[in-house]
Structure 1
C-alpha cells in the first residue's frame, strides 16, 4: 500500500502547524522550506486541508496557515482523507456474479484489513505526534 507524497507532506505540515505558537499563522514559504518543497506544490496540499476545515488561511503580508482545532481531535485519517479522498483502497477487477457466490473473498479480506487500518488512523492524532516531536527535540523551528 502506498499513499501519495502529498499525504506525507500534509501530515508533516499539520504537525508543524500544531507546534506553531497558538494563534500565529505560518507562511507557505516557511512550511515549504522546512520540508524542502516548492511553495506552489505545498499550496495545493494546503488548499485541500483548508477545504476540509482542518486549517485556515489568513491573507495579508503576515498571513499564512494555522490549525483550526488545537484540542487534539485532528486524526491522521482526517488529513489523509482530505488529501487522498475516502475511496476504498482495493477493488476486485473480476466478475463474481455467480448465484452461489457472496462476492469476492479476496476483496472481503482486503476490506477487513483496511477497516483495521482506518480504525488505527482514526485513533492517531496530529497533536500526539507533534508533542512527541517536541519532546524528542526533533521538531523544526518554524521561526
Structure 2
C-alpha cells in the first residue's frame, strides 16, 4: 500500500504548523519552501486540510494558515483522511457474499492500522523536534 505524495506533504505541513507559534499564521510560500514543492500544489493540499477543519486560513498581508483544532486532538488518521478520503483500501472485486474470507481479513487489518493511526497525534512528533524549522 502506498499513500500519495499529497499525504506526505500534508503530514509534514501539519507537523510544521504544530511546531510553529499557534497564533501566528504561516504563509503558503514559507510552507512550500520548507518542503521544496510549488505553492500552487501545496495550496490544493491546504484547501483539503481547511475543508477537514484541521487548519484555517487568515487573509491579509500577515495571513496564512494556522491550526484550527487543538494540536493534541489532531491524529495522523485525521490528516490522512483529509487527503485520501475514508474509502476502504481493499475492495473485493469478486462477487462474494459478506462472508468473503479475504475481505474480512483485509477489513480487520485496515481497522487495526486506522486504530493505531488514530491513536498517534501529530503533536507527539512536534515534541520530539530538536532542530528548529
TM-score class normalised by the smaller sequence = over 0.9
Which residue of structure 1 lines up, in the alignment, with residue 80 of structure 2? Answer: 80
Residue in structure 2 matched with residue 19 of structure 1 by the alignment: 19
Q: Is the 8 A contact 2:18 2:67 kept in 1?
A: yes
TM-score (norm 1): 0.89
Compare CA radii of gyration and give the structure with the larger one.
Answer: 1
Asked if 1:38 is matched to 2:38, the reply is yes
What RMSD over aligned residues (CA atoms) do the two structures have, in Å?
1.1
What is the aligned length? 133
Q: TM-score, normalised by structure 2?
A: 0.95
Q: Equivalents in 2 of 1:5, 1:138: separation in Å?
A: 24
Match of 2:108 among 112, 117, 125: 112
Classify the secondary structure of the residue corresponding to 1:95.
coil
Contact preservation (8 Å) 1:18, 1:70: no
Structure 2 gaps of 5+ residues are: none
* Partners of 1:5 and 1:72 in 2: CA distance: 24
Unaligned segments of structure 1, at least 5 residues? none
Q: Alpha carbons of 1:115 and 1:48: their partners in 2 closer, same or farther (altered >3 Å)?
A: same
CA contact (8 A) 1:72 1:125 kept: yes
Could you report, residue by residue, the CA deviation over 1:28-50 in whole angstroms, capped at 9, with x for unpaired residues? 00000000000000000000000
